[in-house]
Amino acid sequence: MQVAKPVKQVTVEDAFWKKYKQVVAEEVIPYQWKALNDELPDTEPSHAIENFRIAAGESTGEYYGTVFQDSDLAKWLETVAFSLRDHPNPELERQADEIIELLGRAQAEDGYLNTYYMLKEPDNRWTNLRDNHELYCAGHFLEAAVAYYETTGKTKLLHIMEKYVSLIQQTFGTGDGQLRGYPGHEEIELALIKLYNVTGKSSYLELAQYFIEQRGQNPIYFVEELERRKGIQTASTWNDDNRINFGLGFEYQQAHRPVREQKEAVGHAVRAMYLYTAMADLAAVTKDASLLQACDTLWEDVTNHKMYITGGVGSAVNGEAFTSKYDLPNDTMYCETCASVGLVFWANRMLRMAPDRKYVDVLERALYNGTISGMDLDGKRFFYVNPLEVNPYQASRADQEHVKPERQKWFFCACCPPNLARMIASVEDHVYTQTEDTLYTHLYISGRANLTLSGQEVEIVQTHHYPWNADIQLTVRTANPTEFTWALRIPGWCRQAEVQVNGEKIPVQALDKGYLLIQRTWSDGDEVTLHLAMPAERMRSHSLVSMNQQQVALQRGPVVYCLEEVDNGENLGSLRLPQDSPIHERFEEELLGGIVKLSAEGYRLTGPSDLYSAEPLAKVPQRITAIPYYAWCNRTPGEMRVWIYEG
């Protein structure tokens, strides 16, 4: 197993993603800072920063928020770290430094740092790993510490978290007096491996391995924990009744069996994504073939049986969880933004171990659809749930509780907005990986990458207007001729590709797992051009996805489309798109930030006013308009649907 490492020195100049990164830097980070400081009017207060001030003895009051409220601040810090790479901001960095100082003042002498337990249940640390997220919050602060160190070189937060990890190492393990527990919500596992990667301290890798390997071992730790918790006075209402997490059993936490024995994705979708990411990370570091096989088995189950066309995962509202194969309802699903973000992270890690187009195709699908749909175009409203069909006029009260027809300013459980922000701020980390003499180009995002190949400094420049146009130019800049292999991904959605090097055509037939390998000595100014055919296509589901029978979804390149009421009128379910109706494409710079809009001639079925009738339905001609799914609900709210009935 030859593990490819990410290329870190990447600057985004891409019109699409640069705009998103700018929105995060200029709008989302300040907006979320106000939310975390309880300065947003007409929204649920966060209290996350105030909780730390109280813990540091600098303010009075009681803990407020969910048990994992600390993690929102951690993800904000991580987003700041990523954003500072290409949007230097001394004032923002000063704010982050002040928060880090606050964390240090709030930290207990033994290293413990979790405001819920410090303020609410100081005598009950580590008594409810299943539900109360201590290790999850620690993991997010670890990720923030690593990111902030890598961007700024500052070690304060890194030292705070290493002190906390030292306490966790003493607390958990198989030694005498240690707890044999593991987190109910995975996160710290992947964070510990990040910490290992920047410090080289093997004890951090060993702790991550312990948490992963211990999961699902018999006896199940959460049973023992529940028994020990009897008689403990607790302030939390989120535990200890007769249900075991929404009736899903230990599958909810992926703790039903050891990780190598897990063959299907089950339980809470976000937890699963974080666990699988950590498993892939561990397999890459330890060269563990059996763990890699387990990751691949789970990957095939998720992407072939349980993933929406938008890259959404998690079909069930009950438990925000995976269900059975091909159970993919469009209007009662969950598709949490965090779950799609987690899918991007998992795909990224799988890609490092085994460069394969199948991983990037999913990563790209989630990037351009199921993740960024979670935020409106100005970065001020957010979806927790990302439906593929919304009819606010017909939705039941129960549906309205989780499928909102409009994005919200903030949430009491606000994990998604900062999670999405940190992904957008670090999107460049998914573009390239490399070995010593091979460069893999996975995503086509305009910009510059600086790296060392075959011992020589090389710069790669991408220029194009992707995802709206797939005529791509890549230029090599190097002081000395350099021999290396360039592996260019030919996307799975592309049925016809043309590649040239300095104007000379290169055969595209022989691909290596979806990559065109070009091995040569590269000189300064060498140009590679790709033309990837990108027509709009009708996509169809597997026949067992009963909700989508006789329906199609429109997709152009990596972008999935939807219909909105504002373009097509109400009752979108009555529209029909004939199989032979040509799909027209038009780039509209002023619409929704600049998009390619699709249109086709179709018709609407209309019928009698009676509830039931033997009369045939009439076909009324209508032009059907589709916009990118990620951009829905940025105009007049109303109906939306991804899947359209064929005529």
The catalytic residue positions are 320, 415
Separation in Å, CA 319 to CA 181, 189, 245, 336, 506: 22, 22, 7, 11, 50
**HEC-encoded secondary structure of 528-554:** EEEEECCCEEEECCCCCCHHHCCEEEE
Q: What pairs with residue 498 in β-bridges?
A: 531
Identify the H or E element spanning 527: strand 527-532
Closest CA to 547 of 350, 386, 349, 387: 387
- Quickly count: other Cβ atoms within 10 Å of residue 509's Cβ: 5
CA distance 187 to 179: 18
**How many helices (H) and strands (E) are present in the chain, helices listed first?**
19, 22
Closest CA to 71 of 119, 124, 154, 135: 135
* Residues ≥6 apart with Cβ < 8 Å to 124: 117, 232, 233, 234
- Quickly count: other Cβ atoms within 10 Å of residue 23's Cβ: 21
E strand segments, 231-332: none
Match 């420049």 to its residue by tokens: 461
The Cβ-side half-sphere exposure at 228, using a 13 Å CA radius, reads 14
| Strand duo 432-434 + 438-441: pairing | antiparallel
Structure tokens, 630: 């990620």
- The answer to whether 487 and 515 have CB atoms below 8 angstroms apart is yes
What are phi and psi for residue 198, nearest 5 degrees?
-90, -20
* Residues ≥6 apart with Cβ < 8 Å to 108: 118
CA distance 562 to 626: 5
Q: Name the 3-class secondary structure at 181.
A: coil
The Cβ-side half-sphere exposure at 301, using a 13 Å CA radius, reads 20
Four-point Cα dihedral 294, 300, 302, 305, nearest 10 = -140
CA distance 382 to 393: 21
- The answer to whether 236 and 282 have CB atoms below 8 angstroms apart is no
Structure tokens, 72: 């929102």
Separation in Å, CA 335 to CA 241, 381, 550: 27, 17, 23
Separation in Å, CA 62 to CA 55, 59, 100, 179: 10, 10, 21, 29
CA distance 292 to 2: 13
Closest CA to 442 of 339, 320, 349: 349
Match 């159970």 to its residue by tokens: 327
- Quickly count: other Cβ atoms within 10 Å of residue 600's Cβ: 18
Match 């609410």 to its residue by tokens: 120
Relative orientation angle of helices 188-199 and 269-286, to the nearest 10 degrees: 30
What is the separation, in whole angstroms, between the first and last Cα of the chain? 49
Match 């893999």 to its residue by tokens: 440
